[in-house]
Structure 1
Amino acid sequence: MSCAHRLTRISAITGGLCGLAFVTVLGAAPAFAADPFLYVGGPGCSDSGPGTQAQPFCTIKKGATVASAGQTVLVASGTYSETATVGKSGTAGSPITLRPANGATVTVTGGTSGFVVSSKSYVTISGFNITDTTSYGISVKSSNHIVISGNTVSGAGTPVSGQQAAGIYLKATTDSTVSGNNTHHNSDHGIYLSTDTSETTVQGNQSSFNANEFRRNANGIDVIGPDNTVIGNILHDNEDSGLQFYPGANNSFATLNVTYNNGDHGIDNLNVTGGRLIGNTVYHNCTSGINVEGTSGDYVVVNNIAVDNAVYPAYKGIACSRRAGNIGIWDSAPASTVVDSNLVYLSKAGTMYVFGSSFTSLAAMKAATGQEQHGLQANPLFVNAAGGDLRLSQGSPAIDSADSGVDGEQLVDIVGTPRRDDPAVPNTGIGPRAYDDRGAYEF
């Protein structure tokens, strides 16, 4: 049968040639957009069903496997004993999102990990309680544009050599965000930016009580990838340091972080270059409040508050170093490091500052090094240091005294309060605004 005979009715409608009519008909086929929502959990669920609200999937892993760009997987309240591995990538305008349904409380437990993302792009995992996994609570590898937000992650791994695991783990991942999570009581770091993770922002998280237990090693946040930003996190009572930048973490930036009662440093920097530590508050850490050592160099350390670090004898039976000081710039670092407009204070005898050599007062350090010409040695008047409230009280010398011109100074503080002038305090700061406050909190 000729084409003309086969398409007589089509040609009659279109008035076109046979071949043209064929193309026109194909082009006119309607396009059906995917349902923007997939549902998990609840009555009548089936992983062999369509994942609709009427017939949801039973498992998160089924939703995570089949979700396509632009789809959101909504999970009903409940406890899900599984590991959910994301099967596809989203796009810049149409990410894949996994989250609890509105008002739902969802716990993911007992699997190797709660969530796994590998070689994917534009995926968001938000709002889950992930606990008691044998490996990382959330594992992201070789991916980009991933958002991990608002999750609580605890109990990852086992505190035994070779079995420990971080709460949130990113490896070889770029252009991603880890924000608003609470990582606690994991057997390794709370949040770990591992090898080749870069251009990633870690913001507004809390990380506490993470511990290997068999050795001092677990940090609140551990970074060994370059060009990352760590901003506005609260890190306390971790076995090792609150925030650590180790080899590979070159050109990283830490600002507005609050780190206290950790078993080693408040912020530790070893064998890394090009770091900026701006406007952090570090208190009562076992060793230095801020530590820059080894082959580290080209650091800028400005507008921080460091109080009562390296003054108590031990952390969970591990001796603390009483010679490390509130701020310690060691080894090759002093030659290329700038420190200024920091506030340091000790309520008991100890090392106030190290800049190549140790000093018991800021005045002695200034005279010997020429650094810290706008530095202050004074009690910052925290609201309730013993209770972990490191906000500033009225009359604090940290008020209206920072350097607002330093690269990396923020327009708001850790809780989003804009920089503002306290009319009761003379402005002694420098830069375009003379009223920015030192440390993570604006009074």
Structure 2
Amino acid sequence: MRIRHTAGLSAAVVSVVVGLPLPATAAEPAAVLYVQGSDGACTNSGPGTRAQPFCTVQAAADQALPGQTVEVAPGTYAEDLVVKRSGEPGRPITFRGGGSLLERKSFPVISSAQKQPVKMSGRHDIVFSGFNLTHFELDAVSRVELSGNWIQQPNGGIFRPAVSITGASDGVRVERSLVSLPHGGVKVGPGATGTVIAGNDFSSTFGSAVSVTDAPNTVITHNTVRYQWSVSTAIDLAGASHHATITNNVADMSVVQVSAGSTEGTVLDHNTVESPSPGYTPVYKWGGTDYLDAPQLKAATGQGAHDLNPYSMSFDFDQFPFSVPTALLDTWQPGIVVDSAGPDVPGTPAVDLFGHRPVDHPGAPDAGPSGAFRDRGAYEVVGSFKADLTVTPDSDSDPLAVRIDANPVMPTRIADYSYDFGDGTTASGPDRPVERHVYAKPGDYTVKLTATDELGATLTRQKWFSVAYTPAGYTAIAPTRVLDTREAGSRYPRLGAGETIDLDVRKPGSATLVPAGATAVVLNLTATEGTADSHLDVYPSAAARPTTSNVNFGPGQDVANLVTVPIGPDGKVVVRNNSGTVHAVADVLGYFTAAAPDRFTSLAPARLLDTRSDGTPLTGGTPRRLQIAGTGGVPAGATSAVLNVTATESASAGFVAVYPGGTARPAAGSNLNTAPGRNIANQVVVPLGADGSVELFTNAESSHLVVDVSGYYSPDGKGLFTPVTPTRLLDSRGNVTFAPFTSQRVWRVPTGASAAVVNLTATGTLGATHLTAWATGTAKPDTSNLNATPGTDVSNHATVPVSPEGTFELANHAGTTDVIADLFGYYRNQ
């Protein structure tokens, strides 16, 4: 019965256990721990994810587990790093910084104020790669690899070797690293065994590049030692450092020294060591005896059978570090370095210091054993560029087009050219030493070329440059309609929420309207029949949509605004609607090209007309002539004027057109719209008539007009226009709202500009007001740039004089409002 009872109880227990949730399985540790000290989200309490990285390398090192990688972002880490954890055989802890040494300036820097070393004691199975630091200190470690690091010490103040290996260390590898200005390069102390020092570049070393004392079985291969201070020891085996391998190294003005206790089992061969003074100064010290050259050494000891001792060996490092050093000696002397290395020994890196595989050079005999063609030293000679990689404007086409001339020369045929243009796009293919690329927007870019030969060897070359729109003069044209979505059968449809139109402004029809090479176009853009509060944005094609706006409108409103916008590389600009649906109408008024004769002159804003002063508004259908030249600072030779026109006290809805005096009103000549009870302004760039006048016309029943001038174009002007990708300069929302009768300074127009082309928007207005803009340091004018009313977002194009520092003042007349200012370009006197 007890047995039956126990069985029943067990069954009951099992059923209960089955009903409970199973215990959670332990999560597999993340493969990568991230470190980014400049990230505001970083924390040293974990978890070390990309979204929440560690702030310091030490914090990550203290949590790293076997098989994990600590990935360190570029930046300076002012800390003394001590590695306290170990990996496992086949599962090391890896500390990873930058990539190729060709781009080492982006390596993360580990450097405390005291320039203390990165320390490891008693640790094992560690990889440390891609860092910029002053030195390593390794004690009693095993299976530790230091590779691809940039170990540099300041000139003075530090008297430590670049790498110090002490105690019973075993299997340490120091490979493919740049070591400069150390007081001793790699120093291996008593008790260490099986150290590999391979593929490194030692430059300007005080003392020995490689110093080994009482440390047997050391492999020293494919290192380059250059720029030694006077005559110094490149490689020094002291004490009982027997059974060493010294092969395929290259050194200038140096001595190789092997003590009597280190000769047993040691192999020295296939090195190129420059003789400081042939016949006078020893190149080798073997077992306590000096030898003047390799033939003497070979005759006495059998060592150095394939060593070479050239005089005045010259390294070509002029292109360093942005191309591969060629290390050619006296223009390809056969057998000195090229294709003359001996067989690979255990520990030889598969690639050179910059990642290049061996290349068989047609211009040099294969002097290695059995026709081997690997080069001696840290660098594989893969060729060089005849000339620097050049990037020049392509003046025959678009203003943002560039021509890239590579002209690489390699010992073998180039099979592929690969370009990274620095803007997220690439191109590749054979037979492309010259490449043309069009950038979507101005900016600073780095173009990178990788040339690959038929054997798989590569060259990398990169060039930083700046792309900008060409400063240009202005050409006015008769207003020409290029967009009207209201027309039946129009190829451009009514715009819905978030929808865009790619508007061709160069050749909207069969004839060319705006020539190739034009940098920007001036449009009058009207929003009509909108169904929601919204705005139209205009920006160059191929560019990312900016956070700026051009025309703000409400349901049922007809709103026009002048727009100056860069032209995209395909001759188009993008018109985008934000909300609801709306029709859009656009007229081209002019364009900017480098060859245009008319240049801009900025004026302190001045009022030319206010019909309210004499009580004579414009009446519908009757034009009124206004003299411009000879007033407000506009000279007789002016060809066009920049005016701000405001319609006020309008008796009915309608439009206002401004056009050259004495000419017929153009069909596509509307500049702004009128509405009863509203003050509506728009900037106008208008050619002047033969007598220097303009015509003012409205089809409203009547309307008062206010006209202010802010500049003019003429052949003797000095200002050339440079468009910019639309950029926000000011947004007072959430910052400092414009209170009544207050002003704020607007910054970030390029210094040296004479005037800025901006779009001003008033939003959140609490009382009727107007805004006035003028150059910092000058008197506030009695003019206006934008009229705002409560409950409506209003925008207006403005050409504003600026101070030499690139600033202007913006004043609010009455009611509280927020203001947005967007930059579309600037004028600079040439």
Query: Which residue, 143, 149, 156 being the options, matches 1:175?
Result: 143
> Does the CA-based 8 Å contact 2:242-2:263 persist in structure 1?
yes
The counterpart of 2:285, out of the listed 328, 334, 346, is 328
Cα separation, 2, equivalents of 1:374 and 1:100: 38
CA offset digits 1:254-281 (Å, max 9, x no partner): 1110012334311111122111110000
Matched residue, 2:159:
187
Work out the CA distance in 2 between the residues paired with 1:250 and 1:55.
Answer: 46
Q: How does 1:234-245 map to 2 (within 5 A)?
A: 234-245=201-212
CA distance in 1, matches of 2:249, 2:221: 5
Distance in 2 separating the partners of 1:79 and 1:414: 24
**1:326–1:412 distance in 2 versus 1, CA, 3 Å:** farther
Report the counterpart of residue 221 of structure 1 in structure 2. Answer: 186
State whether residues 278 and 409 of structure 1, in contact with CA within 8 Å, keep that contact through their aligned partners in structure 2: no
Q: Are residues 181 and 409 of structure 1, via their aligned partners in 2, closer, same or farther at CA, if it must alter by over 3 Å?
A: closer
- If you compute each CA radius of gyration, which structure gives the higher value, 1 or 2? 2
Does structure 1 residue 280 correspond to structure 2 residue 274? no
Contact 2:263 / 2:286 at 8 angstroms: preserved in 1? no
Cα distance between partner residues in 2 of 1:219 and 1:149: 21
Which residue in 1 is equivalent to 2:219? Answer: 253
The amino acid across from 2:15 in the alignment is A
Q: Which residue of 1 aligns with 2:60?
A: 63
1:295 paired residue among 258, 261, 266: 261
Q: CA deviation at 1:45?
A: 4.9
Which letter does structure 2 place at the counterpart of 1:65?
D
Residue 401 of structure 1 deviates from its aligned partner by 7.1
Residues 176, 201 of structure 1: 8 Å contact kept:
yes
Structure richer in strand, relative to its length: 2
Q: Which residue is equivalent to 2:27?
A: 33
- What is the CA–CA distance in structure 1 between the aligned matches of 2:299 and 2:44, rounded to whole Å? 71
RMSD between superposed Cα atoms in Å: 4.2
What is the CA–CA distance in structure 1 between the aligned matches of 2:73 and 2:309, rounded to whole Å?
54
Query: Is this contact kept in 1: 2:272–2:337, CA < 8 A?
Result: no
The 1:306/1:38 distance shift into structure 2, 3 A limit, reads closer
Which amino acid is 1:177 matched to? E
Q: Deviations over 1:29-67 (max 9, x none)?
A: 221415515555533555557555665555544433334
1:6/1:414 Cα in 2 relative to 1: closer, same or farther (>3 Å)? Answer: same
Corresponding position: 1:147 with 2:123:
no
TM-score, L = length of structure 2: 0.37
Task: Classify 1:422/1:270 alpha carbon distance in 2 versus 1 (closer, same or farther; 3 Å).
Answer: same
Unaligned ranges ≥5, structure 1? 14-20, 103-125, 155-166, 211-217, 312-321, 332-355
Report the AA paired with residue 267 of structure 2: V
Deviation at 1:198, TM superposition (A): 1.5
Instruction: State the one-letter code of the partner of 2:24.
Output: P
- Partner of residue 233 from structure 1, selected from 200, 203, 225: 200
Q: Mapping of 1:97-136 within 5 angstroms?
A: 97-98=94-95, 128-132=108-112, 134=114, 136=116
1:198 is aligned with what amino acid? D
- Answering whether residue 15 of structure 2 is matched by residue 12 of structure 1, we say yes
2:74–2:98 contact (8 Å) kept in structure 1 = yes
Counterpart amino acid of residue 242 in structure 1: A
Provide closer, same or farther for how the CA distance between residues 78 and 254 of structure 1 changes in structure 2, counting only shifts above 3 A: closer
Alignment correspondent of 1:203:
175
Q: Equivalents in 2 of 1:140, 1:10: separation in Å?
A: 53
Deviations 1:48-96 (A, max 9, x none): 5755566555554443333444555555665544445556544456554
SS of equivalent residue, structure 1 residue 301: strand
Residues 313-392 of structure 1 aligned to structure 2 (within 5 Å): 324-331=281-288, 356-359=289-292, 374=306, 376=308, 378=310, 382-384=314-316, 390-392=327-329
Counterparts of 1:373 and 1:72 in 2: how far apart (Å)?
44
Which has the larger share of helix? Answer: 1
Secondary structure of 1:267 counterpart = strand
**Measured at CA, do residues 45 and 68 of structure 1 come closer, stay the same or move farther in structure 2, by a change above 3 Å?**
same
Deviations 1:220-259 (A, max 9, x none): 1111221111100001112111111122x21111111001
Structure 1 residue 147 displacement after superposition? 0.7
Shift in Å at residue 141 of structure 1?
A: 0.8
Letter of the 1:274 counterpart:
H
Q: TM-score, normalised by structure 1?
A: 0.65
Q: Give aligned pairs, total.
A: 351
| Aligned counterparts of 1:205 and 1:395: Cα–Cα separation in 2 | 27
Gaps of 5+ in 2: 100-105, 382-830
Q: Shift in Å at residue 383 of structure 1?
A: 4.5
